[in-house]
């Protein structure tokens, strides 16, 4: 359970609560969800298994793990790419984590329930345009992440995830019930259940694939790094399926917590990344007029859930870099944490400023924050996943793969599943990824 909790802690995060609902909103509701589920089962789960096999068989940080399979410069580059990606992600991820702290503070100060919905309109833009406060909260969030990671894997990460993941599930179920009782929420339920295929384009597929990779933390060295700590008698297939299922379930619950509330407030579901931060305060304030206590409790729990989910993921993102620096570069754990705090804190600060003073700075037509997010999920993670799947499916000897997945032939069920897993790893996953990438580029 501790293994699944740690993997699920990495998987369940802002991707589920913040990213998934707005992507569903932008891409036609249920149609996007169906494509997303299919990708998770057919492509992402095998990639997860590939990465966990690479990690556990090497018992080393992700640079070294990749280096065992591909010696020389190329292996070095692949490995470093997988160390770089999570550090790139955690920089902007912790900006959003910082927003969740600010909103949690506002919820505790009863700011949402005391304001009228009109006073709250545009609140997110006002918050984000004042540059210092978001930067301060971003650094506070990074600081908390660094503190947990500094305690190490067993005392910090495992302990934290073991209590926080069950707590998160309880919170989100409460919020679904709350959301479904709001007036007019059934339109949101309909949106989540009735597919509108007319909104599906090539971009929907790449968005769904990117989200599936993002949500399961694939192609980032995280699964490799965490798996290197997994004992030889654990069942990797069970850990993979357990993680994928809990991640899917949590994303769906988050969808049912947020979109019915969005519809109830009469807000446009395709509002993009600011969706939950724009709409939730508005919803809490409207409800406060009839049920102030319920609305207060719900607002605090909501932002608490977002904060905890973000933290369990950012911990995993940072751990990849810390494992590399301590195992390969001779750093003490504490110093590795400090160095990464400075680097990621600085880049995250620039991302945060891209909503205010740096909004005119554009790369490929995107502000820095959007550029960081789209390069991470649509390029770096896809590339990392492709590398993992090719390494496990084609480079690693078939016998070694079988040995890891079945614990030396002991796990009979896994042995029976092996031909299917191998087929998915060798053919379906790489070809599927390549086709999707080409279709989005052409």
Which residue in the shown chain puts its C-beta closest to ligand PFF?
15
When binding is defined by CB under 6 A, the residue of 4, 7, 13, 353 that contacts ligand PFF is 13
To the nearest whole angstrom, how small is the minimum distance from the Cβ of residue 310 to ligand PFF? 7
Half-sphere exposure of 431 (CA within 13 A, CB side): 6
When binding is defined by CB under 6 A, the residue of 57, 313, 349, 388 that contacts ligand PFF is 313
To the nearest whole angstrom, how small is the minimum distance from the Cβ of residue 31 to ligand PFF? 21
The residue (of 226 and 341) whose beta carbon lies closer to ligand PFF is: 226
d(CA 78, CA 441): 22
388 binds ligand PFF (CB under 6 A): no
Within the chain, how many helices (H) and strands (E) appear? Answer: 24, 2
To the nearest whole angstrom, how small is the minimum distance from the Cβ of residue 388 to ligand PFF? 12
When binding is defined by CB under 6 A, the residue of 7, 10, 149, 208 that contacts ligand PFF is 10
Orientation angle between helical segments 236-264 and 412-423, nearest 10 degrees: 60
The residue (of 288 and 304) whose beta carbon lies closer to ligand PFF is: 304
**Segment contacting ligand PFF (CB under 6 A): 68-76, 121-129, 312-320, 404-412?**
312-320
d(CA 299, CA 112): 8
185 binds ligand PFF (CB under 6 A): no
191 binds ligand PFF (CB under 6 A): no
11 binds ligand PFF (CB under 6 A): yes
Q: At 357, is the secondary structure helix, strand, or coil?
A: coil
Q: How far apart, in Å, are the Cα atoms of 255 and each of 19, 250, 303?
A: 10, 8, 15
393 binds ligand PFF (CB under 6 A): no
d(CA 291, CA 280): 15
The residue (of 115 and 308) whose beta carbon lies closer to ligand PFF is: 308
The residue (of 168 and 298) whose beta carbon lies closer to ligand PFF is: 168
Q: At 259, is the secondary structure helix, strand, or coil?
A: helix
**122's tokens:** 């545009």
273 binds ligand PFF (CB under 6 A): no
Query: What x-and-dash track marks residues 315-344 binding ligand PFF by CB under 6 A?
Result: -xx---------------------------
**Segment contacting ligand PFF (CB under 6 A): 12-20, 121-129, 235-243, 288-296?**
12-20
15 binds ligand PFF (CB under 6 A): yes
The residue (of 7 and 112) whose beta carbon lies closer to ligand PFF is: 7
Contact in structure between 436 and 206 (CB atoms under 8 Å) = yes
The residue (of 18 and 282) whose beta carbon lies closer to ligand PFF is: 18
List the interface residues with ligand PFF, window 194-253 (CB under 6 A).
Answer: 214-215, 217, 220, 222
**126's tokens:** 């006002």
Beta-bridge partners for 130: none
Long-range contacts of 365-368 (CB under 8 A, 24+ apart): none
Say which DSSP state 153 is in: I
Give the H/E segment covering residue 366.
strand 366-367
To the nearest whole angstrom, how small is the minimum distance from the Cβ of residue 234 to ligand PFF? 21
The residue (of 251 and 392) whose beta carbon lies closer to ligand PFF is: 251
The residue (of 27 and 215) whose beta carbon lies closer to ligand PFF is: 215
Residue identified by tokens 């309880």 is: 170
The residue (of 218 and 401) whose beta carbon lies closer to ligand PFF is: 218
**4's tokens:** 């699944």
To the nearest whole angstrom, how small is the minimum distance from the Cβ of residue 392 to ligand PFF? 18
d(CA 429, CA 425): 6
Q: How far apart, in Å, are the Cα atoms of 2 and each of 8, 48, 86, 239, 346?
A: 10, 17, 22, 10, 33
When binding is defined by CB under 6 A, the residue of 89, 150, 323, 325 that contacts ligand PFF is 89
d(CA 17, CA 267): 17
* C-alpha Rg value of the chain to the nearest Å: 21
To the nearest whole angstrom, how small is the minimum distance from the Cβ of residue 18 to ligand PFF? 8
Beta-bridge partners for 362: 367
**Segment contacting ligand PFF (CB under 6 A): 9-17, 187-195, 410-418, 426-434?**
9-17
296 binds ligand PFF (CB under 6 A): no
Orientation angle between helical segments 30-39 and 236-264, nearest 10 degrees: 170
When binding is defined by CB under 6 A, the residue of 16, 91, 243, 246 that contacts ligand PFF is 16
d(CA 389, CA 53): 10
d(CA 314, CA 90): 6
Residues that bind ligand PFF (CB under 6 A): 10-11, 13-16, 86, 89, 214-215, 217, 220, 222, 313, 316-317
């Amino acid at each position: 359970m501790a293994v699944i909790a740690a993997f699920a802690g990495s998987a369940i995060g802002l991707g589920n609560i913040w990213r998934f609902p707005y992507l569903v909103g932008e891409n036609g509701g249920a149609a996007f969800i169906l494509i997303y589920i299919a990708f998770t089962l057919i492509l992402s789960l095998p990639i997860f298994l590939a990465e966990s096999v690479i990690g556990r068989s090497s018992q080393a940080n992700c640079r070294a793990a990749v280096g065992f399979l591909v010696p020389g410069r190329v292996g070095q580059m692949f490995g470093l790419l997988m160390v770089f990606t999570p550090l790139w992600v955690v920089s902007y991820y912790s900006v959003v984590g910082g927003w969740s702290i600010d909103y949690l503070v506002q919820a505790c100060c009863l700011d949402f329930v005391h304001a009228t919905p009109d006073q709250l309109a545009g609140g997110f833009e006002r918050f984000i345009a004042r540059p210092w406060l978001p930067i301060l909260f971003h650094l506070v969030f990074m600081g908390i992440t660094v503190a947990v990671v500094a305690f190490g894997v067993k005392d910090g990460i495992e302990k934290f995830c073991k209590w926080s993941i069950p707590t998160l599930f309880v919170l989100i179920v409460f919020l679904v019930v709350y959301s479904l009782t709001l007036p007019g929420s059934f339109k949101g339920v309909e949106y989540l259940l009735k597919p509108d295929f007319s909104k599906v384009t090539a971009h929907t597929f790449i968005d769904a694939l990117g989200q599936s990779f993002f949500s399961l933390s694939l192609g980032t060295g995280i699964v490799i790094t965490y798996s290197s700590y997994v004992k030889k008698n654990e069942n990797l297939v069970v850990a993979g399926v357990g993680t994928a299922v809990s991640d899917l379930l949590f994303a769906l619950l988050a969808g049912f917590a947020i979109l019915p509330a969005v519809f109830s407030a009469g807000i446009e579901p395709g509002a993009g990344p600011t969706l939950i931060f724009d709409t939730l305060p508005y919803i809490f304030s409207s409800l406060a007029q009839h049920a102030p206590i319920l609305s207060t409790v719900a607002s605090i729990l909501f932002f608490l859930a977002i904060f905890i989910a973000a933290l369990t993921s950012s911990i995993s993102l940072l751990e990849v870099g810390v494992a590399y620096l301590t195992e390969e570069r001779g750093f003490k754990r504490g110093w590795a944490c400090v160095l990464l705090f400075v680097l990621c804190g600085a880049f995250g600060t620039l991302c945060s400023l891209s909503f205010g003073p740096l909004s005119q700075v554009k790369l490929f037509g995107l502000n820095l924050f959007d550029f960081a997010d789209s390069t991470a999920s649509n390029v770096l993670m896809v590339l990392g996943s492709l590398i993992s799947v090719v390494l496990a499916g084609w480079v690693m000897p078939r016998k070694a793969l079988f040995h890891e997945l079945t614990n030396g032939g002991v796990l009979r069920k896994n042995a029976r599943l092996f031909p299917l897993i191998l087929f998915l790893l060798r053919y379906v996953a790489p070809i599927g990824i390549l086709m999707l990438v080409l279709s989005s580029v052409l």
